[in-house]
Structure 1
């Protein structure tokens, strides 16, 4: 079993929550993704935060390109490890 993780960067909490729900439906992931708020450097305002969706992929079956396109549906992207 490997420890493959994908990080999807999304513009706001609503987008991250919607993407988290849709991820399981579209890709059939076993585990619920984890949501994290990522404040931009030097920014104190919560409106300036990005949201990260952490996806474990122990079987390495999720295609990075498909995940990037998926995140793009919410104006986000997949971060390269």
Structure 2
């Protein structure tokens, strides 16, 4: 199942993706994508997503802890 780590800042999402790629080499470096919030015209209101696939419960717990350090969170996508 695909999981999304959500961040307000692009730099945070990119740093988390790089770290997760180092922690879980079989994933490679996860994709970072921009998501514009529904109804928002201002580009500054976009969220940045790190797309994860293929992580087990223990690995997702580590990803959650890392995301929290950057004021991010996880959603199923």
TM-score, normalisation: structure 1: 0.77
Q: How far did 1:24 drift? A: 1.3
What do the CA deviations read for 1:34-66 (whole angstroms, capped 9, x no partner)? 111111121111111111110121xx4353322
Aligned pairs, number: 76
Q: How far did 1:32 drift? A: 2.1
The alignment's C-alpha RMSD in Å is 1.8
Kindly report structure 1 stretches of 4+ aligned residues shifted beyond 3 Å.
Answer: none
Aligned equivalent of 1:65: 61
Is there any run of 5+ residues in structure 2 with no aligned partner, and where?
Answer: none
TM-score, normalisation: structure 2: 0.80
Matches within 5 A, 1:3-18: 4-18=1-15
Q: Does residue 65 of structure 2 align to residue 39 of structure 1?
A: no
Is there any run of 5+ residues in structure 1 with no aligned partner, and where?
Answer: none
